[in-house]
Amino acid sequence: MINFQYLRTSSAKSAIALLLKDKNAKFLAGGTNLIDLMKRGVTAPEKLIDINHVPLKQIEQVGSKIHIGALATNTAVAEHALIKEKLPLLSWALQAGASAQLRNVATVGGNMMQRTRCGYFYDTEMPCNKRQPGSGCGAMEGFNRMHAIFGTSEKCIAVHPSDMCVALAALDAEVVLANHKGERKIAFRDFHRLAGDTPQLDNNLKTDEMIIRLEIPVSNLAKNYHYLKVRDRASYAFALVSVAAAFELNNNKITDVRLAMGGVAHKPWRLTASEDFLKGKEASLSNFEKAAELAMKGAKGFGENNFKLKLAPNTIIEALNLAKSKA
């Protein structure tokens, strides 16, 4: 038997204290990905710290920000009146992910921490630098239809599978992290990492840290928004490409705009060049097309995923079109 210790705690402080004692421990929240990984032999934590009873499920407005506790479920966030009203892009993105059953137990923190769905990562008989650094990348010259076109490294071309995180990157969310010494706050866009030389690391969470909450500024992006997810079936499939688009319009002029893509990189892929271009411009198809073109700078296909070089800009254009038509 692969034995592991199971612990349960009901406060963030004690959870962090338990984590500090054993660097091979892992937090267990919804378990929708972690348990799969354990069953497949991809990961074998010596200690599971069940944090489901830690009171971090709040969804509330604090000043000009909306706070979402790390243990709020995906469903609770997606269906919360405050989120639907003020951050509908986030609600839409969440509902595009997984299945209703999974969303009911999957948490916000767990969603951020989920691993790639690359088939080579999950098959322990295959090479994978993310699972076993130095073993090679199976996908690079293999089945890479689902894989990254941006920010890839020679070591890994996996994508981060989350929909929620794409919206959070677009919405300039911040993440509050804590260890035994105290809290720190980082931009959500800096939470996940590119693969680089360390594909085994998905994010910048330190081994002694815990995700506490998200803080998302309330903005005027609740009117013209869309989360467009292109996938192989209508539900319960990871994105081939997804786009979170939102903008603020003033006399058909774009005064603020956010664009991020999923299914294209090792992290949610914010499209700053496209945003910069669109700011102050008219919300027109030709400008959308130009923004999409700018977004593709540096994109690179690996064979089976070459179609994303066409699908990605098309999806950006359509997401912007649909965001505009919401008015």
Partner 1 sequence: MEKRMLKEDTDRVDGILKVTGRAKYFAEYELPGLTYGVLVTSTITKGKITALDTKAAENAPGVIAVVSHLNKPSAAAYEQEGGPQMKIFYTDKIFYNGQPIAMVVANTFERATHAASLVKATYAKEEFNTDFAKALKDPKAKKLQGQADYKRGIENAYKTAEVKLEERYFLPIETHNPMELHGMIADWRPNNQVTVYAKTQGVKSTQGTIANVFKIPPENIQVNSEFVGGGFGMALRTWPLEIATVMASKHIGKPVKVVITRAQMFTMVGNRPAAIQTIGLGADKDGKLTGITHRAYGETSTYENFTEGVVNMAKFMYQCDNVNTSYAIVPVDLGVPIWMRGPGEATGAFALESAIDEMAHALDMDPLDFRIKNDPETDQQKNKPFSSKNIKEAYKIGAEKIGWSNRKNKPGSLVEGQWQTGYGVSVGVFNANRGKASVKGILKADGSLLLQSATSDIGPGTGTGMTLIAHKLMKIPVDKITFELGDSSLPPAPSQGGSATLSTVGSAVNDVCEALKSTISELAIHSGMDPTANFVEVLKKNNLPAIEVTKESHSGKERDNYSMYSFSIHFVQVKVHALTGVVKVSKIVSVGDSGTIVSPKTARSQMLGGAVGGIGMALTEEAVIDHRYGRYINNNFADYHVPVNADVPEIDVNFINKPDPYINPMGAKGMGEIALIGFSAAVANAVFNATGKRIRSLPITPDKVLG
Residues engaged in binding partner 1 (CB under 8 A)? 1-2, 41, 117, 119-120, 123, 125-126, 138, 141-143, 145, 228, 230, 232-238, 240, 307, 310-311, 314-315, 317-318, 321
> How many residues does the structure list for the chain?
327
Task: State the residue for tokens 């977004």.
Answer: 295
Q: How far is the CB of 1 from partner 1 (least distance, A)?
A: 5
N- to C-terminal Cα separation, the chain: 58
Is 89 in contact with 66 (CB distance < 8 Å)? no
DSSP annotation of 253 reads E
Q: Identify the bridge partners of residue 254 per DSSP, sorted by sequence position.
A: 249
Q: How far is the CB of 117 from partner 1 (least distance, A)?
A: 7
Instruction: Tell me the longest C-alpha to C-alpha distance in the chain.
Output: 66
Q: How far is the CB of 289 from partner 1 (least distance, A)?
A: 11
The pairing of strands 5-8 and 47-50 is parallel
Q: How far is the CB of 193 from partner 1 (least distance, A)?
A: 24
Residue number with CB closer to partner 1 (126 or 257):
126
Q: How far is the CB of 307 from partner 1 (least distance, A)?
A: 4
Q: How far is the CB of 22 from partner 1 (least distance, A)?
A: 22
Residue number with CB closer to partner 1 (41 or 55):
41
User: Alpha-carbon distance 103 to 147, whole Å?
Assistant: 24
- 3-class SS of residue 137: strand
How far does CA 74 lie from the centroid of its chain?
Answer: 12
* C-alpha to C-alpha distances, 52 to 34, 108, 153, 306, nearest whole angstrom: 14, 12, 36, 41
User: Alpha-carbon distance 278 to 274, whole Å?
Assistant: 6
- 3-class SS of residue 196: coil
User: Alpha-carbon distance 4 to 26, whole Å?
Assistant: 11
Residue number with CB closer to partner 1 (273 or 322):
322
Q: How far is the CB of 104 from partner 1 (least distance, A)?
A: 17
User: CA angle, corner 203, sides to 278 and 2, nearest 5?
Assistant: 145
Residue number with CB closer to partner 1 (280 or 303):
303
Q: How far is the CB of 48 from partner 1 (least distance, A)?
A: 16
> How many CB atoms are closer than 10 A to CB 226?
21
Residue number with CB closer to partner 1 (222 or 309):
309
Residue number with CB closer to partner 1 (238 or 269):
238
Please give the backbone phi and psi of residue 295, each rounded to the nearest 5 degrees, phi first. Answer: -65, -25
